[in-house]
A and B are shown apart, each in its own frame.
Chain A
Amino acid sequence: MTQAAPTAAPLSQRQKMEFPYKHSTGPTIGRFYAGLKEQKKIWGQRVAGQGVVVPPLGYSEIDASEAGEWVEVSDRGTLTAVALVHHPIADLHPSAKPFAFVLVKLDGADTALAHIVSDNLDTAKVGARVQAVWAADDKRSGTLRDIESFRVVG
C-alpha cells in the first residue's frame, strides 16, 4: 500500500517578537531632552567643523573632536526638506492623519532637526518658516514629541 503524501499546500507560522529596550540618553542627549521637558528650550552644541549642532551628540561628526559650549537656539526655523505622508503607517508614524516629516534648520543652528508638520500641509514647502508647537507642561516627558509639531508661520 502506497502512503499518500500530506497536502502540498504551503503552511506558514505567525510569530510576533517584542524586545523592549530602555536606552540611557547619556549626559548630552539627556540634557537636550531635559531642556525640552523642563525649560521649553532647544539647546545645541557648538562643534568644530559643523557650527551649532541641533540635536547635539557631544562630539563632532566631522572630526570627532569634543563638542564645545551649549547654545540655546530659537524654536523658529526654516524647512530644508519636506516629505508629505499621505498614507500614515499605523504604529510607526507619529500621526494617523496625513502629516509631513520635515528637516528644520532652527534659527541659530547650523544643522537641521528631523520633526513633523501636522497642519496646513499645502504650505509646508522647502524654505517655509516654521514655529515649534509645544506640548502642555504636564504632557512633556523628555522626548522629541515634547515639541508636538512645527507649524508654518508667516
Chain B
Amino acid sequence: MSKLRNVAVVGFAQLPVVARDEHRTATEMLYPVVRQALQECGVHRDGIDYQIAGSTDYMDGRPFGFVAALDVMGAWPPRQDLHLEMDASFCAYYAWVRMQAGECDTAIVVGHGKTSEGDPQRVLNLQLDPYYQAPLGLDPTSTAALQASAFLARGAATAADLAAVAARNRNNGVRNPDNQLRSPTTANELAQSPWAVEPLRQGYLPPVGETATCMVLAAEGKAETLCDKPVWIHGVDHRTELQTLGARDLSRSAGAKLAAERALAMAGLAKAGDVDVIELMAANPAEELILLEALGVDPRAGKPSINPSGGALCANPVMSTGLIRLGETFRQLSGRAGEHGVAGASRALAHAAQGHCLQTNIFWVVGSQRRWS
C-alpha cells in the first residue's frame, strides 16, 4: 500500500437514541450535536473546511431533505457541502477521500432524520427496484428474514445461535447510555419473544429509533490540535453487490468479505482478529453471524470484543447507525467509552451497511497510532 495522508477522527457527538423525540425537529436535534462536537474540538464551524450529511428524503417526507442540515452545519459564508442518501459512515468515506486529494484538512460529517415521523418499513420497501421486488411488498424485516432463512438452511448456524448473539449484544448495550434498549436479558427470553418475521423474532430486532450524529475528521497537522487522542484511519474500503436478491447467495456476504480484506490490507493487518474491537452494523443476529463469517472471526473466542456498545440491536437510527459504529471505535481508542470501554484497545474495525440484506458494506480500520510516517 502506497503512503496515504494520515487522517483521524477527532470528535464525535450524538443524542441518546429514542423512539420519538416529539419536542424537536430534525434540525433542532442536529443543532446541539454539531455544536457539542465542534466545542469538544475547540473549533468554530468557520474553522471547518468541508461538510457532508447523510439523510434520506422519503424518511424526511421532503425532497432534498439534506437542506434541513445546512444551516446547522453552515451555509454562510458559502460552504463546500455534499449530501449522500446513505448512512453517514459512507459520508465519512467521502470526507476522507477529499482529504486524500488534499482539498481539505478538516470536515464535519452528520447523520440526521426522524425515523419516527414516517413509516420505515414502507419507506425502505422503496429501496428495491420498482419492477420486480418493491411491487411485491417486501419490507426490510422480511428481506432480512429471507436472508436469515438462507443462512440457517446452509447449516452455518442454529436458531439458538441467533438468540445467543442477540442476547450478547443486548447485555453489552446495558452499559451504553446512548442506547435505546438498555435492559439486561437472556437468550432464552429472546428466543421466546413473538415472531417478527420468521425466522427472526421481535427480540432479535431493534425498535424504531432516532437521533442525530456529528463526527469531526481532520488530517495530520490539524488533528493533533483538535483532539488529545486522535484516532487514526488506517484503512477503509466499501463494496456493493447485485440488486436482485434472488441472484445473490444471501447466506454469505461477498461484498463484506472483500471490503474487509481491502481495508485490512490498507491497514497492514493480516486478519480481522488482529484488532481489539469490532463494531458491526448488524440489524439482526443473522447479519452479524454472516459478517463475522466474512471476517473469519469466531464470536465465541472472546477476542476481539464484538459490539461492546451493544451494536445496532440496541439502537438503530436510520442514517446514523453506521456512523455510530465508527464513533464508537473513536470512543474506545480515545478513552471516551466510559463503562463499556475495552481496556487497552488500540486497534478497531468499524462496519456499516446499506440496502437490503447487506447489499453494500464499508469497513474502517482505525488505530491509536498514525498509520503512515
Contact = CB atoms under 8 A, between A and B. Distances in A.
Interface of A: 10, 12, 15, 17, 21, 23, 25, 29, 50, 53, 55, 57, 61-62, 80-86, 89, 92-94, 101-105, 111-116, 126-127, 143-144
Contact of B130 (A23, A82, A111): A23
Contacts of A111: 244, 246-247
A86 B244 contact: no
Interface in B139-156: 139, 142-150, 152-153
B243 interface: yes
B65 to A, nearest CB: 12
A25 B131 CA distance: 7
Contact of B137 (A84, A92, A102): A92
Given A83-B142, A84-B195, A115 B136 contact: yes
A21 B244 CA distance: 21
19 contacts: A10-B23, A25-B131, A81-B153, A84-B195, A84-B197, A84-B198, A86-B195, A89-B122, A89-B139, A92-B121, A92-B137, A101-B138, A101-B142, A101-B146, A103-B146, A114-B245, A116-B136, A126-B152, A127-B153
Contacts of B267: none
B247 A83 contact: no
Nearest to B244: A61
Contacts of B121: 89, 92
Nearest to B150: A81
A81 B245 CA distance: 10
A126 B247 contact: no
4 closest cross-chain pairs (CB), A and B: A112-B246, A83-B145, A84-B198, A126-B153
B172 interface: no
A64 to B, nearest CB: 12
Nearest to B117: A12
Nearest to B245: A114
A16 B4 CA distance: 49
B74 to A, nearest CB: 27
Contacts of B142: 83, 85, 101
Interface string B221-251: 0000000000000000000001111110010
B132 interface: yes
Contact of A83 (B131, B132, B149, B194): B149
A144 B136 contact: yes
B278 to A, nearest CB: 27
B125 interface: yes
Contact of B243 (A61, A81, A89): A61
A129 to B, nearest CB: 15
Interface of B: 22-23, 61, 121-122, 125, 130-133, 135-139, 142-150, 152-153, 194-195, 197-199, 242-247, 250
B168 to A, nearest CB: 24
A29 B132 contact: yes
B246 to A, nearest CB: 3
Contacts of A126: 149-150, 152-153
B143 A83 contact: yes
A120 to B, nearest CB: 15
B205 to A, nearest CB: 13
A61 B250 CA distance: 15
A57 B147 CA distance: 22
Given A89-B139, A126-B152, 7 more contacts: A10-B22, A23-B130, A55-B131, A83-B145, A86-B198, A101-B143, A111-B246
Contacts of A89: 121-122, 137, 139
B246 A114 contact: yes
Nearest to A25: B131
B283 to A, nearest CB: 15
B305 to A, nearest CB: 31
B132 A114 contact: yes
Contact of B244 (A57, A104, A105, A115): A57
Contacts of B122: 89, 92
B132 A144 contact: yes
Contact of B197 (A23, A53, A80, A83): A83
A1 B111 CA distance: 44
